[in-house]
Homo-oligomer: A and B are copies of this chain.
Amino acid sequence: MLKLNSFTVTDEKTHPTQVMRRRATLSHKYELFYRDPLNPVQAQDAWITDASGRKYLDAYNNVVSVGHGNRRVIDAMTNQAKMICTHTRYVNDELCRLSERLTGKNEGNNEWRSIFTCSGSEANDLAMRVAMQFTGGNGFIVTDHAYHGLTALTQAITTSMTGYLELSNRLGLEIATIPSPVGKNEGNSFIDGLQTAINDMHSRGIRLAAGIFDSFFTSDGLGLTPKGFLDDAVRLLHDNGALYIADEVQPGFARSGSYFWGFQTHGADPDIITMGKPMGNGYPMAAIMFKALLDDYIMDSYFNTFGGNNVAVAVGHAVLDEIEERNLLENAHIQGEKILSELEQLKESCVNISSVRGSGMSIAVDVVTNDGAPNADGAIRIVEAMKQRGVIISTSGVSGNTLKIRPLLIYTNEDTNFLIDQAQSAVRTVFS
């Protein structure tokens, strides 16, 4: 069962016609959100409208981070599609310019190179292979509720899903896990967990390939403090001959409100950076950037049918233009701080909220019982209560008791206030 972000499975009883149609033709392994699933038909900026005309503020979807129906992105997509859409085996200066813009977001003296893919999974899959080729190792260190993708290789290190251990054994990978560094200053123990994992690998005679971490530990429940703990961890990885793969699929693209990439909040030095979700604001695109010396350890040649096609390139530029010209990093910081401080106050008044943490538009709230134990049921009730109030959020974390709140980068003051008002109302009602 994927605890990550599927908090309920709908069946025929709750939504007969459409759910039965799904079950007759789609894999039953597809899940639906909510007891009474959402049927969204239109969306603009931060708001989704369902088939009944009801509007919902989107505080969950982390792909459309520059806004649903973003006209600059759609125009870029349409105009480029009308001109030409082909692949990377022909000359395309705009492809190079996009790579230059993205690698330029990471300051430093290293030369970086890029490969464009369709999905974050493809990017992480390639990153893992490069790390294995470069180090000669097959040992990976991850956190214990991580999500890194759905190809065989990336699922084998996705500890938030069952079956990863069987899969990693089958594929000859060795996985060591570190307790999720979530909660206030839990990062302090991260370095100890990493040392233990490295010792474990060494004692078993396993050569390390890489530590791969979502820089914000999003699926683990959001681990952010103390600042710098990841930098210390990376130095320890490097001292032990392992690479550091920064999985920026979720924390990247200004979500932190402080830096373009999540790892920059720690001053950490990645060898490989993978990205995806918000990169095309919904257009399927992703990429991997790596230090130039790793280029020799990629397969003999690389071609991706859709990755880096002209439309993806045009869309990628438009998303960066939106972030830069509309100062969305700053907006994510301002709105995020306001939400965070209001939720902190809510926590002070409610025994069932034990922790509020966040950075920019990544916010986590831990829900507990009156005795302070993880309360996954309470978290789901808040998610449903928020839906009734017209706000879409979700849950995550090892115990499933963490509210996952991911506002879009383009939130207005009104959006932010609406989110806060409904969160206060929902928490008070659920725990009244």
Check if B99 sits within 8 Å of A29, measured CB to CB. no
For chain A, residues 114 to 131, give those with C-beta under 8 angstroms from any C-beta of chain B.
114-115, 118-122, 125-126, 128-129
Query: Is A430 engaged at the interface, CB distance under 8 Å to the other chain?
Result: no
Cβ-neighbour of A306 out of B21, B284, B303 (below 8 A): B284
CA distance A213 to B29 in the complex (A): 26
Query: 0/1 per residue, A13-39, Cβ < 8 Å to B?
Result: 001001101101111111111000111
Interface string of A274-288 (1 = CB under 8 A from B): 001100001111000
Q: Is A42 interfacial (CB-CB < 8 Å)?
A: yes
Please, which residue of chain B has its CB at the minimum distance from the CB of A162? B300
Stretch of A150-158, A323-331, A411-419 lying at the B interface = A150-158
> Which of chain B's residues has its CB closest to A9's CB?
B301
- Interface flag for A309 (CB, 8 Å): yes
Q: A2-B301, A81-B74, A163-B299 are in contact. Are A30 and B306 (CB under 8 A)?
A: no
A171: B residues at CB distance < 8 A: 152-153, 171-172
> Chain B CB within 10 Å — which of A99, A111, A120 has the most?
A99
Q: Are B85 and A115 in contact (CB-based, < 8 A)?
A: no
- Rounded to whole angstroms, the CA-CA distance of A112 and B25 in the bound complex is 7
Min CB distance, A402 to chain B, in Å? 18
Report B-chain residues with C-beta under 8 Å of the C-beta of A283: 284, 311
Q: Which residues of B contact A285 (CB under 8 A)?
A: 284
A139–chain B nearest beta-carbon distance, Å: 13
A388 at the interface (CB under 8 A from B): no
In the bound assembly, the distance between CA atoms of A19 and B93 in angstroms comes to 9
CB contact under 8 A between A115 and B29, given known A48-B84, A84-B43, A153-B153: yes
User: Which residues of B lie under 8 Å from residue A25 when comparing CB positions?
Assistant: 96, 99-100, 103, 112-114
A311 cross-chain contacts in B, Cβ below 8 A:
282-283
Q: How far is the CA of A42 from the CA of B95 in the complex (A)?
A: 15
Q: Are A305 and B63 in contact (CB under 8 A)?
A: yes
A295 at the interface (CB under 8 A from B): yes
Please tell me if A6 contacts chain B, counting CB pairs below 8 Å. yes
Q: Choose among B115, B118, B150 the residue that contacts A303 (Cβ–Cβ < 8 A).
A: B150
Complex CA distance for A37 and B111, rounded to whole angstroms: 25
Q: Mark A155-186, 1 if CB is under 8 A from B, else 0.
A: 10000011100010011100000000000000
For the side of the interface on A, what is the size category? 35 or more
Query: Shortest Cβ distance from A24 into chain B, in angstroms?
Result: 8
The reply on A146 being an interface residue by CB < 8 A is no
A40 within 8 A of B: yes
Instruction: Kindly list chain B residues whose C-beta atoms are within 8 Å of the C-beta of A118.
Output: 118-119, 122, 284, 306
Tell me which residues across on chain B come within 8 A of A42, comparing CB atoms.
Answer: 83-84
Rounded to whole angstroms, the CA-CA distance of A43 and B138 in the bound complex is 45
> In the complex, are the beta carbons of A304 and B119 less than 8 A apart?
yes
Interface string of A68-88 (1 = CB under 8 A from B): 110000100110011111111
Among B91, B276, B282, B309, contact of A282 (Cβ-Cβ < 8 Å) = B309
Q: Is A391 an interface residue (CB 8 A)?
A: no
Which one of A6, A114, A170, A277 has the greatest number of beta carbons of chain B within 10 Å?
Answer: A170
- B15 and A91 contacting across the interface, CB-CB below 8 Å: yes
On A, residues with C-beta under 8 Å from B are 1-2, 5-6, 15, 18-19, 21-22, 24-33, 37-43, 48, 61, 63-64, 68-69, 74, 77-78, 81-93, 95-96, 99-100, 103, 111-115, 118-122, 125-126, 128-129, 132, 138, 150-153, 155, 161-163, 167, 170-172, 276-277, 282-285, 290, 295, 298-307, 309, 311-312
Query: 25 A-B residue contacts at CB 8 Å?
Result: A2-B300, A6-B89, A22-B96, A26-B88, A26-B95, A26-B114, A27-B298, A30-B301, A32-B90, A43-B85, A43-B86, A48-B86, A61-B86, A61-B87, A69-B82, A69-B83, A69-B84, A78-B81, A81-B282, A118-B118, A121-B122, A122-B122, A150-B304, A163-B300, A172-B172
Rank and list the top 7 A-B pairs by shortest CB-CB distance, nearest first. Answer: A284-B306, A118-B118, A284-B284, A85-B282, A39-B91, A25-B99, A29-B302
